[in-house]
Amino acid sequence: MRIVLGVGAGIAAYKACELLRLLTETGHQVRVVPTPDSLHFVGGATWAALSGLPVATSPWEDVHEVPHVRLGQDADLVFVAPATADLLARAASGLAPDLLCNVLLTARCPVVYAPAMHTEMWLHPATRANVTTLRGRGAVVLEPASGRLTGADSGPGRLPEPAELCRAALRVLARGAAGLTPDLVGRRVVVSAGGTREELDPVRFIGNWSSGLQGYALARSAAARGAEVSLIAANTGLADPAGVRVVQVTSAIQLRDAVISAAVDADAVVMAAAVADYRPVVRSDAKLKKTGTAPEPIMLTENPDILRELSGLRRRRGQIIAGFGAETGDLISNGLAKLAAKGCDLLVVNQVGNGLAFGTEDNEAVILTADGQQTPVPRGPKDALADVIWDLVAERLI
């Protein structure tokens, strides 16, 4: 695949060096097209050495090859990182003062922008309007990360880490022609991931084996399809996906509160987290110690059924609710019973235990729907299952 990596004039341009290395290591040909001012941060020789291809900033270089047209026409993906406020404004206005802006005008492939700028610039109405314009034209504009910016400043506007940007690029490439029309642009979605922990004391908890990998795959897939994604993550230890707002939680109660809050204006909610059914009635403030005698029984109480509560609330008209059902027995019969009990629109049922599903890079499932559809998904990468789930959600959105 041929990728054009556009680089805007921001200090975060240094991160694009690592992104370039990661993309080339996956076997793709990457042509770097920096803006002229970005060369103040990373020089052209660096890009040429890392990519093994020539670097130009002006459409007047190598005119006989018509680079201002050919690069966009021939690319399978244009990925801009960092996309500065100035660059987003030029792209939204259709200006073409340099080679990169010409490429953006001639591209007939998916285009992804990874913004990076100070918080005030990201939140400015002009930038927000430009982002809305670009998304309306079918481009994917990832949400920036929050964190340390230039100097002592901190807040939303940070460029996500290169490894996650690479994952985002590969997700868009994997969609092929479908990536030209991101079907979740303008949609707000909520995904839960990981496994909740119910504390017994400051050092012990009741938990499960869920790693969060499937939920993170769902979040990445939704972002690559243009959605505004909120990820409620329970004890995963995974890097934040690029373009995704992440809320960290520990217990089932915390996860419930975070999901219910995020679901208020969401078009779809996918509950991939493994939520503990019970929690201790009492949490000890001090570590429970051995006494040499039989310990006191641990009294448990039920946690709220978050999926059923979401299905009953339906915070907005047409909201789609999907859940997961981890099973060790009859997949279909147990899944159908759970689908009816929860009242959700889709239920993804999969076999777990003995090395299956939890903590693995692959998954196998059957997706059951309230309208009677059954979609088997053969064993494969969790990203592939995530795409099938979003296919089914997208076609049900109104």
pLDDT of residue 148: 87
Q: Which residues pair with 31 in a beta bridge?
A: 4
State how far the Cα of 14 lies from the Cα of 47, in Å rounded to an integer. 11
User: In the prediction, which pLDDT does 114 show?
Assistant: 98
pLDDT at residue 4 greater than cutoff 90: yes
Average pLDDT of the chain to the nearest whole number:
94
Residue 343: CA count within 13 A, CB half-sphere = 11
- Quick one: pLDDT at residue 29? 97
Where do the domains of the chain lie? 2-180, 188-394
pLDDT band at 327 (very low <50, low <70, confident <90, very high): confident
Ramachandran angles phi, psi of 309, nearest 5°: -65, -45
Q: 344 Cβ partners below 8 Å, 6+ apart?
A: 307, 310, 311, 321, 322, 323, 370
Do residues 198 and 276 touch, judged by C-beta distance below 8 A? yes
Spot the catalytic one: 102, 130, 208, 235: 208
- Given this model, what pLDDT does residue 3 score? 98
- The string of pLDDT tens digits covering residues 358-382 is 778 899 999 999 999 999 999 999 9
The token pair at 175 is 């969609």
Residue the block writes with tokens 């979003």: 390
Question: Residue 67: what pLDDT?
Answer: 66
Q: What is the pLDDT of residues 146-159, one digit of tens each?
A: 998 888 888 999 99
> Quick one: which of 66, 139, 133, 142 has its CA closest to 99?
66
Query: According to the model, what pLDDT value does residue 355 have?
Result: 67
pLDDT of residue 153: 84
Share of the chain above pLDDT 90, in %: 83
Q: What band does 108 get if pLDDT is binned at 50, 70 and 90?
A: very high
Q: Which residues pair with 61 in a beta bridge?
A: none
Beta bridge partners of 275: none
Edge-to-edge strand order for the sheet containing 29-34? 29-34, 2-7, 77-83, 111-115, 140-141
What confidence tens digit (pLDDT) does each residue in 7-25 have? Answer: 999 999 999 999 999 999 9
User: 19-25 long-range CB contacts below 8 Å, 24 or more apart?
Assistant: 19/81, 19/162, 19/165, 19/166, 19/169, 20/47, 20/50, 20/51, 21/50, 22/162, 22/163, 22/166, 23/166, 23/169, 24/50, 24/51, 24/52
Q: Counting beta carbons within 10 angstroms of the beta carbon of residue 198, is it exposed (0 to 12), middle (13 to 18) or buried (19 or more)? A: buried
334 is catalytic: no
CATH 3.20.20.10 corresponds to the domain 2-180: no
CATH level 3 topology of 188-394: Rossmann fold (3.40.50)
Say if 2-180 and 188-394 have the same CATH topology: yes
pLDDT tens-digit map of 171-191: 999 988 888 889 999 999 999
